[in-house]
Amino acid sequence: MPVVKGICEYDGTNYSGWQKQINSNSIQAEIEKALSVILGKNISIIGAGRTDVGVHALNQVFHFKYDNEINLDLIRKSLNGLLPDDISIKSLKEEKENFHARYSAKRRTYLYIVSKRKNVFYDKYSWTIFSNLDHKALLEIQNHFIGEKDFTSFCKAEKEVKNKTCKVSYSRWFSNDDFLLYFISADRFIHGMVRGIVGLSIEYAKGRLSLDEAIEIINGFQRCPIWAPSKGLILYNVEY
């Protein structure tokens, strides 16, 4: 049975997250509903990962199976006509039968945006912090997250999964006049992990934690004291 790989972007402000849930609106449910209308049968999709309530995506990947030949370009255009304005299908393409949006993924990258000032256009997509942050401190702490580690301290739902070990391959802060941008890549992420890492990094950049205290949290000896707001978090890319 042919497998179709889709890439979508969405503004997660008005959704309970990617994952379909009972009595809540989700991105997955919206795409499945539109696909089912267009193809005339119930369609289930599987995403590369679950983004939390209020989290956005530039390149979320999903797949579905369909047993008939279909015009994917026409389906994409039809989907974008039916879907809400805050969800867009960027591409649809046929993949090999063994392709799986979640299990075939090798690396996922998230972007977190911190705004240094009141910003009319980016308020929905950034965490505004007016106090001064030590950028050198951010550069100092960023490398401490790299490697294969147990990120239990940064997991919001402790019982979500038993295995909380993730291999982080990239962790980097960038700064310009208006924003701080944080990129992090790993083989997998657990619930709340990136928001916890950003929250801890900001606390350290504010001088509220010593480096030793921050490292104790990173190493799992203490729980992360603060999570960054979800609105600044964006699923940036998924690699296969």
State the catalytic residue, choosing from 52, 67, 150, 212: 52
pLDDT at residue number 159: 57
Average pLDDT, the chain: 94
Neighbours of 223 (CB within 10 A): 12
pLDDT at residue number 156: 77
In angstroms, rounded to a whole number, what is the distance separating the alpha carbons of residues 111 and 126?
Answer: 10
pLDDT at residue number 158: 57
In angstroms, rounded to a whole number, what is the distance separating the alpha carbons of residues 33 and 41?
Answer: 10
Encode pLDDT of 150-180 as tens digits: 999 998 765 567 889 999 999 999 999 999 9
Structure tokens at 20: 């379909």
CATH architecture of 3-95: 2-Layer Sandwich (3.30)
- Supply the CATH classification number for the domain 107-239: 3.30.70.660
pLDDT at residue number 138: 97
Structure tokens at 78: 């039809």
The three-state secondary structure class of 1 is coil
pLDDT at residue number 160: 64
Q: What amino acid is encoded at 175 in this protein?
A: S
The mean pLDDT of 139-147, rounded to a whole number, is 97
Q: Which residues contact 120 (CB under 8 A, 6 or more apart)?
A: none
pLDDT at residue number 136: 96
pLDDT at residue number 2: 86
pLDDT at 196 over 90: yes
pLDDT at residue number 67: 85
CATH 3.30.70.660 domain range(s) in the chain? 107-239
Q: Residue 8 pairs with which residues in a beta bridge?
A: 60, 89
pLDDT at 3 over 80: yes
The three-state secondary structure class of 103 is coil
Radius of gyration of the CA atoms of the chain, in A: 19
Q: What amino acid is encoded at 226 in this protein?
A: I
First to last CA, the chain: 21
Annotated active-site residue 178? The verdict is no
CATH 3.30.70.580 domain range(s) in the chain? 3-95
61 in Cβ contact with 6 (< 8 Å): yes
Q: Which of 38-52, 133-147, 156-170, 194-208 has the lowest mean pLDDT?
A: 156-170
Name which residue leads in pLDDT, 225 or 161: 225
pLDDT band at 73 (very low <50, low <70, confident <90, very high): very high
Q: In percent, how much of the chain has pLDDT > 90?
A: 88
pLDDT band at 135 (very low <50, low <70, confident <90, very high): very high
The burial of 181, by beta-carbon neighbours within 10 Å (0-12 exposed, 13-18 middle, 19 or more buried), is given as middle
Encode pLDDT of 13-58 as tens digits: 999 999 998 888 999 999 999 999 999 999 999 999 999 999 999 9
